[in-house]
Structure 1
Amino acid sequence: MKTSVIARAAAAVAVLGTALLAAPGGAQAAGRDGTCDSGEFCLYYNSDNAGSVSDFTTSISDYGDTQPSCYEFKGAGNGQGLCVKNNAASVWNRTGGSVTVFYNSGYAGDSQTFAAGAKGNLNATLKNENASHRLGGGTSTKVDMSDALYVGGGGRLTTGFDGYVNTPGRHEGIDFAKASGAGVKALLGGTVTNVVEGGTSLSTIAVYNATYDKTIIYLHTNPLDSVDTGDSISKGQQIATEASRGASATHTHVEMRLGRRTLAAKSVNDPVLDNPNPNPFWEARGYNVR
């Protein structure tokens, strides 16, 4: 009996030893399960690493805009189930290298880099304005405005800022064009301050961004029925379709104005520029002005 007990005890120790040898030294990345494991980069819905978490083991060039195709917050807490894009407030980098969060999809635009092991809040530019992240580095590539403005890309710049050639006055914005009916997207998130349908006259969509204290105004489009004054919209969200309301040809006039505005500055037959050159602003947001 005594020999049998000793034998069984020895066997148990052997099994335990094998299990200990096979066990990893610490928690390892377990895939996207809503827990921030070692080896993962994690985005949190709230500041100070609070709220629901979305965990990643790879770079993501575009989080996606809508369910069910977007990357969502998976952990319990505020924000669970919402898309990560333009909804994150803080991060925890549990990978072995730096990770950079970008304002635009495709690793473009303003960025913020977090060292290995770092916890922190996204800065004022990127908080709730996050579109992609890259593990291991922060190389940024810019996106052409003519592509970013339209669903599916493929637009073209037709008239630059202050670029009138055959029209009297000073052009206060930048004109882009694509086929009539093409989807038009917001180049910057914010609050809608004005929507004018236009019909056969000039249409207007004005979107104020408090972070930059600037209003982006879109003219000549056919505004979507779902876009109303007071709405909060995200960068990349479709707001209209391409049209020619108040213009002789189909195009979208994009105008940057300082402060909170509702209407565009006068261009045609007005010899004075009210707006500053917007190109440096757009380039700082990760866009090529073309």
Structure 2
Amino acid sequence: MKTIRTTLTVAGAALAMAVPLIGATSAPAFAASRDGVCDSGEFCYYYNSNEAGSVSDFTGSVSDLGATQPTCYDFKGAGAGQGLCVKNNAASVWNRTGHTVRVYFNSGYSGASQDFAPGAKGNLDATLKNNDASHQFLGGGGGGGNQSPVNDFDHGTRGFAADNCTAFAAYRIASRLGVPNFSNSWGGTTWGNAGNWANAARATGVTVNTTPTVGAIAVNDVHKVGHVAYVNAVYSDGSFDVEEYNWNNPLAYGTRSHVHVSDAQADFQWMLHF
């Protein structure tokens, strides 16, 4: 059940103002850039409708906004709602990033959602107002921040073999990368086995290179029939983490950390940026 917003008493308001000072000793990711001002390059929640009240600003995806202090992401800016957790308390947003940002009803990027295009501002719809739990920067262009791994697969096939790497990657493309109708025949070509995905991407105009970014689809075209995975984290040394199906765990979800772009059988050779 979602938390219902209650009115703060004077004493409660004073406590809420004090809490962020306590939380400062264990600030969550992106805290260094979160100052309660909606700057260019940030996605911002507002406590009230029509971009009013206290602001909470973000530079990347967050899989769980957190519901309790001192570990939740809170409203930083001056105004109504300052010090409260953002989860289940936001009414409007402003997307000042270059990515479409999707706000979700549930943690882990799941449940009902609402998309905000780059530059868009507006109120959360009736389902998500005061019921926001996570948000996702869509697309593989980078800048979205590393993402916590979560097995959110809906087990739909989208024309691929059930519970194979291709079906999972297709789900992530459809649910996170802004291509909701992606399938084995998307773009008028047959994507087929994972080893063919780089060629299919080129044929349909999808950017193909060797640069890993969060949200990219990693392609291995040298291992048997190939393999595809979703990049959820990238590191300064060029290595990256992936989420995948049917690699170490037959027909099941798994993750790997600090893999690379190389010709090795266990690595990846290409990155697809939808």
* TM-score, L = length of structure 1: 0.38
User: TM-score, normalised on structure 2?
Assistant: 0.40
- Hey, which of these two has a bigger chunk of helix by percent? 2
| More strand, by proportion | 1
